[in-house]
Structure 1
Amino acid sequence: MAIPVNRTNIRIHPDYKKVIARFFNTGNERSLLIINKVMQMDDKDAEIVLSNIFKEFSNRYRNIYDIFLKHFALVKDLLPLNEQHAISEKKLLIGAYFTMEYSIEAAALFNPSIVEDPDQGGAGAGQKKVIVSFRATGESHISSLVFKRGLLDENGMIHFEPSGKYISEGIVTQQKNDNKLAFEKLLTQMVLPEDIYPTILKQLQDPFSYKEIEKALKNALLKIESATEKNKIKYDILSMVNTSYEVHFPPESLLSERVIFPVTLTEKNGIEDARFVKFIEDDGSFTYIATYTAYDGSFILPHLITTRDFCDFKVAPLHGRAAINKNLALFPRKINGQYAMISRIDGINNYIMFSDDLYLWEEAILLQQPKLPWELVQIGNAGSPIETEKGWLVITHGVGPMRKYCLGASLFDLDDPTKELGRLNEPLLVPNEEERHGYVPNVVYSCGSIIHGDKLFIPYAVSDHASSFATVPLKELLEEIINSN
């Protein structure tokens, strides 16, 4: 029996007008030339240029003044100390020359997940306030994480609050949590050019932060002409240090104005496919946790985001032999005293993992293998498991002929989720004619669903370009899964 799937008429498209102000890195040599040209400008001319910049761009940002100062600070060390103090009247203009706008959604807005809003104030009977996260992709296919706040009504339709005007990356902070002596021992195990080793160490405090080692490497590797060699040394060294950081947004900012943009080298090409879940602790308190894939252009690493209010976020990498590949999704509570995670460590099959430590995953148990025609290439999760009275409901994705992605569903035992109770024989959601076209054709994909009333509400991506939504009657879905076993 085919499960009735009700597609909404809502389609969320990328908005190329959503821009952030990024640092425009021209390299040290060109940067110094630009600074010197600004310094040679007549003061009156410089004042006119800066005034025109403010007229054109200040209404696009809450704090463009602070942005220019921040970007000036990133280049001022190129000058001798005595000259740094002499250019105070032109520092804003210099900062403007090292600023560029980046359209965070220029290419796509897709792979959504959904969780219950921590603030349910204002929700009426049969309604639920929700937060939907999206993968936003812009120029050079760099992905970041954005949000929308919405309301699910009594009929299962979603209504979003208007998007904010000012997009912000927030304030990034990093604790000094790397021990210099331990790091020095690791460096001795590497084959490095002779003068790099002491140049790095003399710039570091004890302890030091990720940002400090990045700055030290920038200076230490200046003399290496080969870009390939420079990047390899940089990546090898940075992979040995702690990449944790925090992002803080002003409480008065709208959720839709907040973007978590790549911060560290390990994620410089993308924060991909965040799967958010409301994690309930043993004492009843809760934290919102998301797994995501950090991509540096060559390698992928699983990371974790935690937040209580979607205003302050903590980001850290996962460790262990099983913390590899994509498609990790955390269960919403501990099972038999342990954290549990669905994963796909080999790129083909679904696995399940258990751990006493949220950030350390050593073992993976094979859970599901592709067996049906529409999933023969690979099977993976489409978000965190959802607890129901019949078992753990896992929405899956399967890849079949012509690399077509469909959504399926499986059920696992509540007390022992290594036991599969059933799996749909037919796809739950297949790309229809209108959904087949996009950046990656023939794809429907989700990073998390939610139960609302008697329905399962499924946000899903449309061919890696836009996002849409569907509902499924929960009772019928669970019965069909059990009967298909």
Structure 2
Amino acid sequence: MKKTFGRKIKDYGPLSELLARRTGPILLPDRSHVLIRAFSAGNKTITRNIIKRVLSLSDAETDKKLEEVLKEFKDRHPDIEKTFNSRYREILDYTRQELDIPDRRKMLIGAYFCHEYSPESAALLNPSIILHPNQEDLDPGAIRFILSLRAIGEGHISSITFREGVIDALGEISLVPHGPFISEPEYLPYYRYKKDLFTRKLEEAGFHNHFCRRVMDSLPDYFTMSELQILLKEKRKSMSDMDTLADRSIHGILLLAKSNYEVRFDSNSPVSQRILFPEGPTQSNGIEDARFVRFINDDGSYTYYATYTAYDGKITMPQLLETEDFIHFKFSTLNGPAVQNKGMALFPQKIGGKYAMLSRQDDENILLMFSSNIHFWQTPKLLLKPFADWELVKIGTCSSPIQTKAGWLVMTHGVGAMRKYCLGAFLLDLKDPSRVIGRLRSPLLSPNETERDGYVPNVIYSCGSLIHNHNLIIPYAMSDYATSFASVNVEKCLESMRPI
């Protein structure tokens, strides 16, 4: 018998005998899942020229071409006529034109300013698993889950896509077929901003000059984007044409507003057909590595949060995603000096009356921080440094902490020689998570010969796990290309931990 954490445990031998068991199934990127997205011609002159060329077609040519387009693409997208008409109206708003033409010509013009995009054409990776809000109509001992994944398409643009599945009493995993379509949510233009929260975020971002104060003082306690835009236009007129401070402030205010928004899916669409594509300016090049957690609120209800990395092509920025039903989502900026780098992972409940979060501020170590407001994070403290030879480059979290009787179980990734990524784990005290009880000295999961080739070679990575029937279920990405599953007995994993 060995002794760890002051308690006697069984001797299961070296950890190499306790590596997680690969269970499958494997999810490959599905290139047949395509979105219909807006195509931009580049500028208004070229846009008008395209419209003129489409209008030059005869009625017969217009009808023939529209029928060709509908025949070719109608079965690939639901309500494609509605999409073409909507895109036509967007083009007219952009060019500021007024056209009195038949509906079929309008629809055809809309088609010329659309294109297909395959969000999974390059990779399907970095999964996070969470209990499904609906646990009805299941066999005894089974649970239903939602799997979120980072989908990468043309231009290295990352979005969040979903799959649904069931884990039965024996730990077998089955995935729900995700159907022929994929759909984006409706952007909610009437999202109301809370003035005191918006003002604080603005100040945290460095915008607390006289112009900003005048704008915020003129707004009601709750305001919409249109109200904000009208007010900014009025305030700008009263300033000098050469007032660069006002222009910079307006840019900062609008950037913050556009980075905080809400979207809603059709409630009848299956979860596995929903996708969250980048919308806000801070995420124009991607929504990366969402770590979902089912958070227990003070009243006992649940909110699903996800910390993710927004990427605009140059800068990465941690942000927050929130939903109660996976239909209505809210995107929010995170603020404060502790909001840096990647790998933020929220605890599933408050600790000592405060939110708690793990992060990696310095791109090397894991840190811990607390806050009374989920949107603001101030002072992180060092929690864990690289230790073993397979993590000497850096370590980071793979998931939000999972509560067990022994403590908070945290999955990690470690980066070693040849930038090889492996999965590990450590354990925190339940009441005082600043106290590390123990950690694994060897990897829990390492890329094997069948997993080491892909978009980024030699990488095993995960963004969230869950416990079912005493087993830790680990979805993981294989070399940033495809996704599979593994499991490990929780008790054996905990008993293999060693004090620091």
TM-score interval, smaller chain: 0.7 to 0.9
Q: Distance in 1 between matches of 2:144 and 2:329?
A: 20
Kept in 1, the 8 Å contact 2:19–2:443? The answer is no
**SS in structure 1 opposite 2:115?**
strand
2:425 aligned partner: 409
1:355 to 363, 371, 377: 371
1:449 aligned partner: 465
Mean Cα displacement is larger for which, 239-248 or 375-384?
239-248
Point out where structure 1 has 5 or more consecutive residues left out of the alignment: 191-205, 221-231
Trace 1:186-265 onto structure 2 (pairs within 5 A): 209=225, 238-265=254-281
Kept in 1, the 8 Å contact 2:20–2:486? The answer is yes
1:195 aligned partner: none
Q: Distance in 2 between matches of 1:381 and 1:127?
A: 28
Q: Distance in 1 between matches of 2:228 and 2:127?
A: 34
Trace 1:22-421 onto structure 2 (pairs within 5 A): 22-27=37-42, 28-81=44-97, 83-86=98-101, 88-174=103-189, 175=191, 177=193, 209=225, 238-421=254-437
Kept in 2, the 8 Å contact 1:106–1:137? The answer is yes
Q: Distance in 1 between matches of 2:51 and 2:194?
A: 34
Residues 1:417 and 1:122: Cα distance change in structure 2 (over 3 Å) = same
Kept in 2, the 8 Å contact 1:16–1:106? The answer is yes
**What is the CA-CA distance between 1:207 and the residue it aligns to?**
5.1
Query: Which letter maps to 2:469?
Result: G
**SS in structure 2 opposite 1:159?**
strand
Provide, for residues 266-296 of structure 1, a one-character-per-residue CA deviation record: whole Å limited to 9, x for no partner. 1010000000011011221101110100000
Q: Distance in 2 between matches of 1:121 and 1:111?
A: 28
> Alignment RMSD, CA only?
2.6
Q: Distance in 1 between matches of 2:159 and 2:29?
A: 13
**SS in structure 2 opposite 1:433?**
coil
**What is the CA-CA distance between 1:413 and the residue it aligns to?**
0.5
Q: Distance in 2 between matches of 1:423 and 1:288?
A: 28
Provide, for residues 223-273 of structure 1, a one-character-per-residue CA deviation record: whole Å limited to 9, x for no partner. xxxxxxxxx999767545451111211111111110000001110100000
Provide, for residues 28-78 of structure 1, a one-character-per-residue CA deviation record: whole Å limited to 9, x for no partner. 221111111112221221111111111111111111011112211221024
2:486 to 465, 470, 477: 470
**What is the CA-CA distance between 1:9 and the residue it aligns to?**
3.7
Residues 1:188 and 1:479: Cα distance change in structure 2 (over 3 Å) = closer
Query: Which letter maps to 2:322?
Result: T
**SS in structure 1 opposite 2:450?**
helix
Kept in 2, the 8 Å contact 1:349–1:380? The answer is yes
2:7 aligned partner: none
Provide, for residues 64-112 of structure 1, a one-character-per-residue CA deviation record: whole Å limited to 9, x for no partner. 011112211221024455x334465521111100000000100000000
**What is the CA-CA distance between 1:311 and the residue it aligns to?**
1.3
Q: Distance in 2 between matches of 1:330 and 1:414?
A: 14
Query: Which letter maps to 1:30?
Result: I
Q: Distance in 1 between matches of 2:428 and 2:278?
A: 35
Mean Cα displacement is larger for which, 307-316 or 233-242?
233-242
Q: Distance in 1 between matches of 2:411 and 2:207?
A: 43
**SS in structure 1 opposite 2:117?**
strand
Q: Distance in 2 between matches of 1:89 and 1:49?
A: 10
**What is the CA-CA distance between 1:353 and the residue it aligns to?**
1.0
Query: Which letter maps to 1:253?
Result: S
Kept in 2, the 8 Å contact 1:178–1:209? The answer is no
Q: Distance in 2 between matches of 1:130 and 1:166?
A: 21
**SS in structure 2 opposite 1:304?**
strand
TM-score (ref. length: structure 2): 0.85
1:12 aligned partner: 27
1:224 aligned partner: none
Kept in 2, the 8 Å contact 1:178–1:241? The answer is no
Residues 1:210 and 1:351: Cα distance change in structure 2 (over 3 Å) = farther
**SS in structure 2 opposite 1:366?**
strand
TM-score (ref. length: structure 1): 0.88
Kept in 1, the 8 Å contact 2:472–2:487? The answer is yes
Kept in 2, the 8 Å contact 1:178–1:242? The answer is no
Kept in 2, the 8 Å contact 1:150–1:161? The answer is yes
Q: Distance in 2 between matches of 1:295 and 1:54?
A: 35
**SS in structure 2 opposite 1:13?**
coil
Provide, for residues 175-196 of structure 1, a one-character-per-residue CA deviation record: whole Å limited to 9, x for no partner. 25398xx89x969899xxxxxx
Residues 1:120 and 1:241: Cα distance change in structure 2 (over 3 Å) = closer
> Is 1:461–2:477 an aligned residue pair?
yes
**SS in structure 1 opposite 2:146?**
strand
Query: Which letter maps to 2:63?
Result: E
Provide, for residues 308-352 of structure 1, a one-character-per-residue CA deviation record: whole Å limited to 9, x for no partner. 111111111111111111100100000010001110011111011
Residues 1:75 and 1:369: Cα distance change in structure 2 (over 3 Å) = same
Point out where structure 2 has 5 or more consecutive residues left out of the alignment: 1-13, 212-221, 237-247
2:3 aligned partner: none
**What is the CA-CA distance between 1:445 and the residue it aligns to?**
0.4
Kept in 1, the 8 Å contact 2:24–2:173? The answer is no
**SS in structure 2 opposite 1:37?**
helix
